[in-house]
Copies of this chain bind each other. A is one copy, B any other.
Amino acid sequence: MSGMIVESEVQVRYAETDQMGVAYHAAFFPWLEVGRMSLLHRRGKTYGQMEAEGVCLPVVEAHMEYLKPARFEEVLVIRTHVAEVRQASVKFAYEVCRKGEEAVLVRGHTVHVTTNREGKTIRMPEHVRKMLAHQAED
């Protein structure tokens, strides 16, 4: 399994904290995006390139479990993998930890449909499917 997981790093910005002294819960969504974008890039194409070619991946479902807080300045590792590829959708799963620590802070997934640039759902192009379903070592 580990060969399929892509790791990305972010550092918690002051902008992302709230008055509870921890990272605001919605701040994790752009971080998962960082993980997803890294995975696509590592599989051969950036999301910007995909979008330019007319394949978009808007989010249709998002789920998050917050186990422990993240704090200002902490370096977080986002572990992303493709959990499922279907005819017109893909599910990414994520775990977020502090760098160098094992404990999972946040666990979640997002589901995305493939659409054209006008937002109409399209069947996933074969080269995108291959890219996402790629099982080899990264």
User: A residues engaging B (CB < 8 A)?
Assistant: 13-22, 24-26, 29-30, 33-34, 37, 46-48, 56, 58-67, 69, 72-73, 119
Contacts and interface: CB of A to CB of B under 8 A. Distances in A.
A38 to B, nearest CB: 10
Q: Which of A18, A46, A47 has the most CB of B within 10 A?
A: A18
A134 to B, nearest CB: 21
Given A15-B29, A26-B30, A60 B69 contact: no
Contacts of A24: 14-15
B48 A59 contact: no
B18 A18 contact: yes
Contacts of A21: 19
A52 to B, nearest CB: 10
A59 B22 CA distance: 12
Q: Which of A14, A18, A56, A69 has the most CB of B within 10 A?
A: A14
